[in-house]
Structure 1
């Protein structure tokens, strides 16, 4: 089991094959792929839990790549990542909610762009595309506004649980011996044939490094002694999560006709039975704070109701904002430095969840050129994480489920205790929420926080605060 608190660093003389810096979805996928390749891997994370940066907030869409730049590395890695996700979903207990998507045109100018989007999608190798009239599109989703002019159906765009997938990747890596160092911000790296890495948790050595630091990718490159070849420009996205009653009106992903800057505001179901409206695309300098603004959230609600009128007035369960690690270029910023045995996977924006496994494959191919002499494992250990989605049975539906701690999301005490005893236990309340859904419902933990604090006492590196919670 990988403890929630930062463990003692390697004993004198121990050297890892690869150090991966940054425990977002890409870092977790890279650790899994390297561990399966036989590498001795350590994952360095500055936060108290995995997914504590950009990866914790996204729209949870498993993309096809239909609108990715033609001929790009991003397109190749989205397709490779999606294919591997579908191949391993059954063995790792990963979710797939088959919704399909509609790229919706709300005026004649947007409608004229749909044919070009469809042509690009077909050139990208995506066959399941169909141009629909507004009437035909509404037949597949009756809740859409009658203002709809036309739509492009993308049958294979689907929804997944965005947090269980990277947890499953890292869990399989942990079963193969990978280590996780939390509260271990990289402060400096020096290469002399071996990497000597200084972190806030201590010193360690590795034969190679992979930078998957997301919002800090350019800073980590600089701390490793490289002249950064890209610049992270944080892009904030605000989201509104509507109550579960909204799900009856939004069975499919509703995408806008994209602009040069953003894919735009999406209305889509979630794997957890809610409806998501967002994100915005707001440039900012701050890499840490992603605030929510009332006026922006009201605008998102209004836009959601324009698209699906029945959403007007429905209760809001939660609001949140995330930061995407955008850069000065729309392209992924991938760099390989064989002379220093270093790989950088930077500028991975909104498609990172879909491309993560593809990025991990690509990183391994680059690292194989470093001559580390890795030998793939003969068998991969089984991993099957608990289902958190509304599409399959959950623990509360079992006759022996025991105490239900979070009544909004129907989370059992047994699920919470299993998460605390798992190979990669949560390090803070956010991590517990992402592993169990506890505290994510209508009351946002108001009624269950005290009980959660009691159950998790002594387990979290950052204990759960219960001020203001009802007992």
Structure 2
């Protein structure tokens, strides 16, 4: 325990935002300590999303969200090759399916241009059919967004965490923060004892308002917004080239059709507010709606089976914008209300936090980076099975070597979910029916399956 009982900076929450902040502060030499309640990073909101790298074309103009998204987009592009992170360059189409939606397309283009995304244009129904001939014929037109792309949602935060570790940061998993007191420094109460912190950063996602209450009466309330997804089998990915976006509403971006970096095609999400913060269940009625909606927009899906279903929770608040602020007199930084755009914005959010740290708490002097590339999981790039090795998961072509590697190193998988996110094992058609026993044998004594 002594090794972990004191840190200059403690980050609460090991989702993609917490991992990006951890990386940024470690690169600046601050030796942060990241605390995650789950047994592995990405155990909360960050484990389930649509994995799109957003341009910010449809974000509220002038918002902190669009600033962070666009900064995160630029930094991801700048560092991805050195971290071995994929980018599937698809572009996106915001498709109008009725006259009312068609009438809203010029405003979407105007908003994109206001946000500095100048290559966004409106296209006709004829051009839309040329670009995406498999779409249903009642599509009336679209807005083309060339810069929207697909990424791997799990490898990026893992790379951020590993780079933070390489620069002297520490990560403690299975460490829920339940309280704390402040007397010039923070004494945080965790299930594994007290931790003294000179500065606390709250990046606790769906529990952000409860963690905020340790410092002050929370100015925001988290109401988790559940998004359910349907993942169609591999042949479905051949039906579209672009990300197919809906015309958004005030409440949600709507239902998306897009390929995944892993060679599938997903349809979703729903948008359902709920009180439960740590359980996201799927239900047959919503999944049937998604399947029907997907087939309505992309009729070829009627001939293709569903590979998997999942649900994620987004930490929605009563505010539309991110809640990022510093409480200098309490040595506390708040990072709350980071919803579905958090994967793209994470590096930009980390930049905002770094600026707050430099302004109020510590100088930020970034050192020469040690690069920590992660294994490739993207289907469009070479994977280990192509050069040999024993295949354990035949649905997703995962080798024994990949599983062994995920269970070792500076941040080995902490639970079965972490192992899946690091390798894709047990995430294919059979959902582990054929390979789980062999995976369990390999992982025996290291994690519980």
Normalized against structure 2, the TM-score is what?
0.98
The CA deviation at 1:15 is: 3.1
Contact 2:48/2:311, CA 8 A, preserved across alignment: yes
- Of the three residues 378, 384, 391, the one matched with 1:389 is 378
Could you report, residue by residue, the CA deviation over 1:177-236 in whole angstroms, capped at 9, with x for unpaired residues?
2111111100112121111111012111111011000000000011x2311010001101
| Corresponding position of 2:345 | 355
The CA deviation at 1:374 is: 4.9
- Are 1:51 and 2:19 counterparts? no
- Are 1:438 and 2:425 counterparts? yes
- Are 1:176 and 2:167 counterparts? yes
- Are 1:459 and 2:449 counterparts? no
Could you report, residue by residue, the CA deviation over 1:397-429 in whole angstroms, capped at 9, with x for unpaired residues?
01xx32100000000000111111122111111
| Corresponding position of 1:106 | 97
- Secondary structure of the corresponding residue to residue 312 of structure 1: helix
- Of the three residues 262, 269, 289, the one matched with 2:279 is 289
Contact 1:45/1:184, CA 8 A, preserved across alignment: yes
| Corresponding position of 1:10 | 3
Q: Distance in 1 between matches of 2:363 and 2:163?
A: 21
Contact 2:120/2:144, CA 8 A, preserved across alignment: yes
Q: Distance in 2 between matches of 1:426 and 1:137?
A: 43
- Secondary structure of the corresponding residue to residue 10 of structure 1: helix
Could you report, residue by residue, the CA deviation over 1:254-303 in whole angstroms, capped at 9, with x for unpaired residues?
00000000000000000000000000000111112211111111110110
The CA deviation at 1:334 is: 1.4
What are the equivalent positions in structure 2 for 1:302-451 lying under 5 Å apart? 302-377=292-367, 379-398=368-387, 401-451=388-438
- Secondary structure of the corresponding residue to residue 303 of structure 2: coil
- Of the three residues 232, 236, 247, the one matched with 1:257 is 247
| Corresponding position of 1:3 | none
Question: Gaps (5+ residues) in structure 1?
Answer: 1-7, 465-471
| Corresponding position of 1:35 | 26
Contact 1:406/1:439, CA 8 A, preserved across alignment: yes
Contact 1:209/1:342, CA 8 A, preserved across alignment: yes
The CA deviation at 1:30 is: 0.2
| Corresponding position of 1:269 | 259
- Are 1:239 and 2:232 counterparts? no
- Secondary structure of the corresponding residue to residue 424 of structure 1: coil
Normalized against structure 1, the TM-score is what?
0.94
The CA deviation at 1:375 is: 4.0
Contact 2:225/2:272, CA 8 A, preserved across alignment: yes
The CA deviation at 1:437 is: 0.3
What are the equivalent positions in structure 2 for 1:86-165 lying under 5 Å apart? 86-165=77-156
Could you report, residue by residue, the CA deviation over 1:327-358 in whole angstroms, capped at 9, with x for unpaired residues?
01111111210111111110000100000000
Q: Distance in 1 between matches of 2:389 and 2:278?
A: 39
Q: Distance in 1 between matches of 2:360 and 2:115?
A: 31
- Secondary structure of the corresponding residue to residue 110 of structure 2: helix
- Are 1:199 and 2:185 counterparts? no
- Of the three residues 39, 59, 74, the one matched with 2:65 is 74
Contact 1:102/1:153, CA 8 A, preserved across alignment: yes
Contact 1:23/1:45, CA 8 A, preserved across alignment: yes
